Chains A and B, each alone.
Chain A
Amino acid sequence: GAVVSQHPSRVICKSGTSVKIECRSLDFQATTMFWYRQFPKQSLMLMATSNEGSKATYEQGVEKDKFLINHASLTLSTLTVTSAHPEDSSFYICSALRANYGYTFGSGTRLTVV
């Protein structure tokens, strides 16, 4: 079946540093990847849509210079949280869309900024 690997699963970083999160589709090529953010006891909020070889499309209110998305290949998208602050602490989840097969979600990354 379709598997999406998200790494790391947990990360703690100091305020002001940058953190990179990887999302890989292991056994299929993803036409599109999505990045979500989830605060405790809340729903998933879409941050951006990422297509291979093109600039990501960000949702309203999401700072593109703070949340850098790179979609280098059909199997890899990365999200870099730049100059992280405590309010960026959250659960980040990626999902990959495979044509005619649907969506597969990664297992999420718990980011804690101290």
Chain B
Amino acid sequence: GQQLNQSPQSMFIQEGEDVSMNCTSSSIFNTWLWYKQDPGEGPVLLIALYKAGELTSNGRLTAQFGITRKDSFLNISASIPSDVGIYFCAGGTGNTGKLIFGQGTTLQVKP
């Protein structure tokens, strides 16, 4: 079945540093979504991407939909302590609306 490979698995950075994480797949996706999940909560949408090559920003977050439609990255600039959490990429294939989630990247920020 379809799988997403998300990396890195975890990151421990200093406040103010930039962060980058990515997802790759052998399958093509029509939609790429990036979510953040806090402990005991459901995922919250950060950025949605719908076109190959699309580059979208949301505050300090920037994400791109890879031109091959098989990958996406998320960058966080000037990290702050509240950026701590687990970040998931998710790929959608269209007709069924189903999303496939990456394994997650756990981000820890040291003040």
**A residues near B, CB below 8 A?**
6, 31-32, 34, 42-46, 49, 57, 60, 91, 93, 95, 97, 102-108, 110
Contacts and interface: CB of A to CB of B under 8 A. Distances in A.
B102 A32 contact: no
A106 B43 CA distance: 8
Contacts, number: 51
Interface centre among A32, A43, A97, A104 (most CB of B within 10 A): A43
Interface string B1-40: 1000000000000000000000000000000010100001
Interface string B93-106: 00011111111100
A11 B30 CA distance: 36
Contact of B40 (A6, A44, A108): A108
Interface in B75-107: 88, 96-104
Contacts of B101: 43-45
Of the four ranges (under 10, 10 to 19, 20 to 34, 35 or more), the interface on chain B belongs to: 20 to 34
Contacts of B100: 46
Given A34-B98, A49-B96, A103-B33, A44 B43 contact: yes
